[in-house]
Amino acid sequence: MAAVQGGLIDTEEEKDIKTEPANDGCGNNNNNNTANDGRLLNASPGSISSGGSNKPATGALEDQQTLLAVLQFLKKNNLSESVEILRREAGLSEDTEDSKGLDSSGAGSGGAAGNVDSESGDANSLLSRVSVSSSAVSASAVQAPSKGAGEDQPDVNVVLSAYSQQGDPALYDVYYSSLKKFIESVLDCHRAELSQVFYPLFVHMYLELVYNNHENEAKAFFEKFSGDQECYYEDDLRVLSGMTKKEHMRGNETLLDFRTSKFVLRISRDSYQLLKRHLQERQNNQIWNIIQEHLYIDIFDGMPRSKSQIDAMSGSLAGEAKREANKAKVFYGLLKEPEIEVPLDDEDEEAENEEGKPKKKKPKKDSMGSKSKKQDPNAPSQNRIPLPELKDSDKLDKIMYMKEATKRIRLGPDTLPSICFYSFLNAYQGLTAVDVTDDSSLIAGGFADSTVRVWSVTPKKLRKVKSAADLSLIDKESDDVLERIMDEKTASESKILYGHSGPVYGISFSPDRNYLLSSSEDGTVRLWSLQTFTCLVGYKGHNYPVWDTQFSPYGYYFVSGGHDRVARLWATDHYQPLRMFSGHLADITCTRFHPNSNYVATGSSDRTIRLWDVLNGNCVRIFTGHKGPIHALAFSPNGKFLASGATDGRVLLWDIGHGLMIGELKGHTDTIYSLKFSRDGEILASGSMDNTVRLWDAMKAFDDLETDDFTAATGHIHLPENSQELLLGTYMSKSTPVVHLHFTRRNLLLAAGAYNP
């Protein structure tokens, strides 16, 4: 969809997208080169913007190249005005562009950087420091894009032309089956590894046939060998099967993904040698070419992997993640909690003296302070990204939180949480998203009829602030001024927020409960005030449906991701994104903030999960293993682990620090739409379209792991088949898909969904 209309975009719009990130000077410094190329080539507006956003970063060389590529694209599409603006903004001279020399970039980009610094001062209150200081660009990252930009012309035709070289179409069949025969004849230990080659080979050969107008051969080829492919590629094969003409390939996303991103395979050195020798002996150049051009073979030393090991990790659109993609250090520890325990202690003392048992205080404090007392060695520095300062009301809320936390039930396999179900009744318009505030006082629903509805689930009604005229009348000195500003007449159980012009797919409350975010099919993210129940800002940037959005756990920042395959990081007081995270090969379906707010996880329908560094926009983790689009993500409260749920009904557990899959929870029979860890992380709850909530023993899942010896270097994992042991319970709802899960501060599990009679 995205690519279809690449050239049709309004010039004005495109200009906006492209240039404004440069003004803000906080674009992303993305070293994910293949992905970046992909965005460039995939001539959709989203990709342009992501490319454009690369400029102000410090790695001058690749930025220069990227800019040139963008300029070329613009020229090609006769967007002369945009070209002018871009050139002006980036400080590129006509010469620079014409010469296309790698060495001429110094002056130009220096100018660009200077621009950024001077302009961003006031606009970027918090992140300007960040963008200037970011310098973590690896050497490889610098080199790769230069190659990409130099070779690849930003045109679909050029992309596809890679398929033009060809052998005899009739021989494809022979080539493929001979390879198949060979692989089937090798030793068992190598067979599983080499079998990985089948799928990408099959796809590329098929596409070559199609591209060269051998429709009938292509169909025959497909029919003959599609049955051999792993069942988890079924969806992609279905798309392929429909594509039988060269014309179809133009603008097809799946195709572009295959072409632009090398399919990554991990193969042991022995197996690889075996394959190489075979192909060279047989003079099977056709296949050898494809392997060299379109496949990235990540060779490792050591024992070949078993079939189950391979299956656990494969399934994504572009193969597995490269090992070095997950090498970066991730500060997954939690930030130190601010010291606001003094008032807490005072009040507690009073309360406890009343009760007459002040003894309890000590253990309480210990259990609470455990995560905040010491600086976690794995935690990022406190000011790694600037966080908003705590307001008085935030502190009060923290105190409330701590008090509630002392009353929290310690969950475990023997003490399972009680589950309360919030049913949305009469939601004929279609409930698409739900969120609950951290203190469980408000619940909001996003609906397919473009509305957002907020309910108070405590007896406290929702009230608007009085109008400006009325506000001027009240006594501002009075103690209860906060109470007086509320308009009692507007008190009601629920409020409806109108503003979107498409289904609302994602909503998120701000931690302080003053704001609500909603993302919609109309391409916008809206910020609503829960004081006035009006829309404050509409964030435009995604020009395609925005599937999900979420507030940072510290407020102020939020992340959104959608059909344009780019996740954006925003600050509520900026109408432009601060970061763009591009690299996914398909829609970003869900976005989550890490508890320390330094990272963002995104799940995508390319069946990968990526973890992004908010500081510099780098992709620091790629997790593959799901066999379907990912629709739910959840970080463990200690920040160490990530759980993900997909349409395949499986929950996968990931160790963020090591970048490894550590568990697989099988049981759901339909898409998992919600995941949540209990407050202390002992229990993982998953809610699914199959109308069940399942509880999993997260402690055990993670404990088992820690006793294991990690082979982090190879990344090979042995997943224990222990789903049934870890499953603590399955709880049916009343024909209500579970759309959202939430643990109250006392560990009561709230589930929500729309009742479908």
Q: According to CB under 8 A, which residues from 450 to 509 bind other proteins? A: 453, 455-459, 493-494, 502-503, 505
Stretch binding other proteins (CB under 8 A), from 25-33, 346-354, 701-709, 740-748: 740-748
Long-range contacts of 88-94 (CB under 8 A, 24+ apart): 89/19, 89/22, 89/23, 89/115, 90/22, 90/55, 91/115, 92/67, 92/68
Among the listed residues 182, 288, 300, 421, the single contact to other proteins using CB under 8 A: 421
SS3 339: coil
Q: Is 61 in the site for other proteins (CB under 8 A)?
A: no
Least distance (Å) from other proteins to the CB of residue 737? 6
H-run or E-run covering 347: helix 341-355
Interacting positions 223-242 with other proteins (CB under 8 A)? 223, 238-239, 241-242
- DSSP letter, residue 138: -
**At its nearest, how many Å lie between other proteins and the CB of residue 69?**
25
The residues, any chain, with a CB within 8 Å of residue 128's CB and separated by 6 or more, are 25, 26, 120, 121
Among 157, 185, 426, 724, binds other proteins (CB under 8 A): 426
- The minimum distance between CB 346 and other proteins, in angstroms, equals 22
Closest separation between CB of residue 496 and other proteins, Å? Answer: 9
Q: How far apart are CA 355 and CA 353, in angstroms?
A: 5
Q: Please tell me whether residue 42 binds other proteins under the rule CB under 8 A.
A: no
Decide whether 226 or 372 has the Cβ nearer to other proteins: 226
Classify each residue of 237-248 as buried b or exposed e, where b means 16 or more C-beta atoms within 10 Å of its C-beta.
beebeebbebee
Residues numbered 679 to 708 that lie near other proteins (CB under 8 A) are 689, 691, 695
Among 160, 299, 390, 748, binds other proteins (CB under 8 A): 748
CB 462 within 8 A of CB 453: no
How many angstroms separate the CA atoms of 223 and 217, rounded? 10
Question: What binding mask, one character per residue, do residues 369-408 give for other proteins by CB under 8 A, x or -?
Answer: --------------------------------------xx
Which parts of 593-652 interact with other proteins (CB under 8 A)? 605, 629, 631, 647
With binding defined as CB under 8 A, does residue 547 bind other proteins? yes
Selected range binding other proteins among 41-49, 428-436, 567-575, 655-663, rule: CB under 8 A: 428-436
When the beta carbons of 263 and 505 are compared against other proteins, the nearer one is 505
- Is residue 445 near other proteins by the rule CB under 8 A? yes
Nearest residue (CB) to other proteins, 318 versus 416: 416
Residue 243 found at the interface with other proteins (CB under 8 A):
yes
Q: Residue 46 or residue 333: which is nearer to other proteins going by CB? A: 46
Residue 669 interacts with other proteins (CB under 8 A): yes or no: no
CB 27 within 8 A of CB 132: no
Within 8 A by CB and 6+ apart from 603, the residues are 588, 589, 590, 591, 609, 629, 630, 631, 632, 633, 644, 646
Report in angstroms how near the CB of residue 466 gets to other proteins at its nearest: 25
Cα distance between residue 406 and residue 410, in whole Å: 10
Within 10 Å of residue 598's Cβ, how many Cβ atoms?
24
Euclidean distance between CA atoms 317 and 125, whole angstroms: 39
Q: Does position 513 bind other proteins by CB under 8 A?
A: no
Size of the site for other proteins (CB under 8 A): 84
Q: Which is nearer to other proteins, 204 or 453 (CB)?
A: 453
Instruction: Name which of 711, 664, 669 is nearest 688 in CA terms.
Output: 669
Comparison of 298 and 697: residue with beta carbon closer to other proteins: 697
In whole angstroms, how far apart are CA 137 and each of 11, 292, 618? 33, 27, 9
Q: CA-to-CA distance for 417 and 540, rounded, in angstroms?
A: 40
Q: Which is nearer to other proteins, 669 or 711 (CB)?
A: 669
Residues making up the chain, counted from first to last: 757
